[in-house]
């Protein structure tokens, strides 16, 4: 007897083992009596199949021989060769995703999820399902990715649940559901504490992902507290990946508070740390942020912004970046090109962003259409510019609730309408900006005056 088989038999979940025995027996069309024969009772076999009894190695060997299988197929869920093939297949799918081949990654992952599920290899099946969800996110299929991640989150525990939660929070944020994006962090706190995962890279990455959702909600104080605590934890853990994530998100908080110089310093620290590793996707995303920060300087450093944005564009194409991220990169590039006086090139970048943005990302599509309208306005094509800006207004009008990024888009839209002498549309957009930022006009009787309401 292989000593490893003996150890596996002592530790394997009896319910999993029993389900494999039952599946193999029914696949052969046998009854429990057929399999038990004269060697053991039907009742004993029944208890094995329900997981209430752990068989001896002798009994398991007899069952395996009668069903024409190996002992390891019951203990591992598959023969060694098949097990290795499933692992290699999933590794290939992950590599394809990292190389930006999301469609191929999804196809491969689905294939090996089915094989892992059929072999009762739950860990590998979960790994494959996570790859499927990440591939769908990269393809811009955010609603489908969220549904798969929600199911997977309910089935996961420990570090797997944390990784799933990070992706889920990110997808919620991308579709604009900021409440759910922040709630994920709260739901995962007990898992982090119970499993001693508070100081892991994944815990810090989760905190930073949730902080981004708070930033988008406009709760900069809460985001700043999260980032400060995460930086402290990351520096104590001495993890380059964790520290870079903490510096990066803290830079966004400083940027939103108007301190661009401090934001730029933190972003550059994050870039130096990311450059030491192999996280090409996040490196490209950070370059986008650096490009934005250089445009926000007074005066704007257009040359440096373009250098970061052009490089990020190339790097994003070679990674598993989502369609929304690629679109965002072109929106920023369109803005930088316009600041640098390259109007035609700016319009081309904006057109690419409009074409690439998925339909289930309306805010991203609105920002791309806004960039297109601005480029058209600079080119003197007024009627086309107004058409693009009114399309932007339609997209923004479909976004309910309070959202600072929506408010910002309305504000920019108002300014462009005013520049094109459409004052009625500019006024309406400004009112929408106020509403989206959370401001409300108090109800009042327009006829009554302050003097009329005073007490004599």
User: What pLDDT is recorded for position 356?
Assistant: 87
57 Cβ contact partners less than 8 Å away, ≥ 6 residues apart: 1, 5, 6, 9, 71
- Return the axis-axis angle of helices 42-50 and 14-27, rounded to nearest 10°: 120
How far apart are alpha carbons 292 and 251 in whole angstroms? Answer: 12
CATH of 3-77, one of 1.10.260.40, 3.50.50.60, 2.40.30.10, 2.60.40.10: 1.10.260.40
- Cα torsion 320, 169, 227, 231 to 10°: value is -50
Asked if 290 and 271 touch (Cβ cutoff 8 Å), the reply is: yes
User: What pLDDT is recorded for position 404?
Assistant: 76
Helix (H, G, I), strand (E, B) or coil at 62: helix
Asked if 347 and 379 touch (Cβ cutoff 8 Å), the reply is: yes
User: What pLDDT is recorded for position 125?
Assistant: 85
Per-residue b or e along 281-307, where b marks 16 or more CB atoms closer than 10 Å to that residue's CB:
bbbbbbbbbbbbbbbeeeeebbebbbb
* Cis status, amide bond into 283, omega within 30 of 0: no
Tokens of 154: 């309910």
Tokens of 145: 């990715």
Domain locations in the chain?
A: 3-77
180-209 pLDDT, tens digit each: 999 988 889 888 888 888 888 888 888 888
User: What pLDDT is recorded for position 450?
Assistant: 38
How far apart are alpha carbons 165 and 252 in whole angstroms? Answer: 21
How far is Cα of residue 96 from the mean position of the Cα atoms in its chain?
Answer: 17
User: What pLDDT is recorded for position 199?
Assistant: 82
How far apart are alpha carbons 91 and 392 in whole angstroms? Answer: 42
Averaged pLDDT, groups of 10, the chain, 456 residues long: 67 82 83 87 90 88 84 67 76 82 88 79 84 88 92 88 92 86 88 85 86 83 85 77 80 83 88 71 85 90 93 82 83 95 96 87 90 96 96 90 80 95 95 82 47 36
User: What pLDDT is recorded for position 401?
Assistant: 65
User: What pLDDT is recorded for position 255?
Assistant: 85
- Return the axis-axis angle of helices 423-436 and 382-397, rounded to nearest 10°: 30
């Amino acid at each position: 007897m292989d000593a490893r088989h003996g150890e596996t038999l002592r530790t394997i979940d009896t319910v999993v083992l029993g389900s494999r025995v039952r599946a193999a027996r029914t696949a052969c069309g046998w009854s429990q009596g057929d399999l038990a024969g004269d060697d053991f009772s039907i009742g004993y076999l029944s208890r094995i199949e329900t997981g209430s009894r752990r068989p001896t190695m002798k009994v398991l060997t007899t069952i395996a021989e009668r069903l024409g299988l190996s002992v390891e197929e019951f203990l591992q869920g598959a023969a060694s060769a098949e097990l290795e093939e499933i692992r290699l297949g999933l590794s290939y799918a992950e590599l394809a995703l990292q190389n930006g081949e999301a469609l191929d990654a999804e196809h491969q992952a689905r294939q090996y999820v089915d094989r892992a599920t059929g072999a009762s290899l739950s860990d590998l099946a979960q790994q494959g399902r996570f790859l499927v969800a990440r591939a769908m996110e990269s393809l811009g299929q955010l609603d489908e990715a969220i549904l798969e991640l929600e199911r997977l989150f309910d089935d996961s525990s420990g570090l797997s649940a944390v990784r799933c939660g990070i992706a889920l929070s990110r997808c919620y944020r991308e579709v604009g559901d900021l409440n759910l994006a922040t709630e994920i962090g709260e739901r995962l706190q007990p898992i982090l504490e119970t499993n001693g995962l508070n100081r892991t890279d994944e815990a810090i990455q989760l905190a930073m992902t949730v902080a981004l959702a708070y930033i988008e909600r406009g709760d900069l104080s809460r985001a700043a507290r999260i980032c400060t605590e995460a930086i402290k934890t990351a520096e104590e853990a001495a993890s380059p990946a964790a520290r870079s994530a903490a510096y990066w998100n803290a830079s966004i908080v400083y940027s939103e508070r108007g301190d661009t110089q401090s934001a730029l310093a933190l972003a550059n620290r994050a870039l130096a740390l990311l450059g030491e590793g192999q996280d090409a996707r996040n490196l490209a995303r950070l370059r986008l942020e650096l490009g934005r920060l250089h445009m926000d300087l007074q005066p704007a450093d257009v040359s440096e912004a373009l250098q970061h944005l052009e490089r990020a564009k190339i790097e994003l194409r070679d990674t598993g970046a989502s369609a929304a991220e690629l679109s965002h990169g072109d929106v920023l590039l369109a803005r930088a090109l316009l600041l640098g006086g390259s109007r035609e090139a700016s319009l081309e970048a904006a057109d690419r962003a409009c074409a690439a943005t998925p339909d289930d990302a309306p805010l991203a599509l609105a920002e791309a259409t806004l960039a297109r309208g601005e480029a058209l306005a600079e080119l003197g094509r007024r009627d086309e510019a107004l058409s693009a800006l009114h399309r932007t207004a339609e997209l923004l009008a479909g976004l309910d609730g309070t959202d600072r990024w929506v408010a910002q888009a309305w504000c920019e839209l108002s300014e462009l309408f005013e520049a094109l002498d459409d004052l009625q549309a500019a006024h309406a957009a400004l009112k929408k900006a106020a509403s989206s930022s959370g401001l409300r006009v108090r109800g009042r009787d327009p006829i009554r005056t302050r003097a009329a309401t005073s007490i004599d």
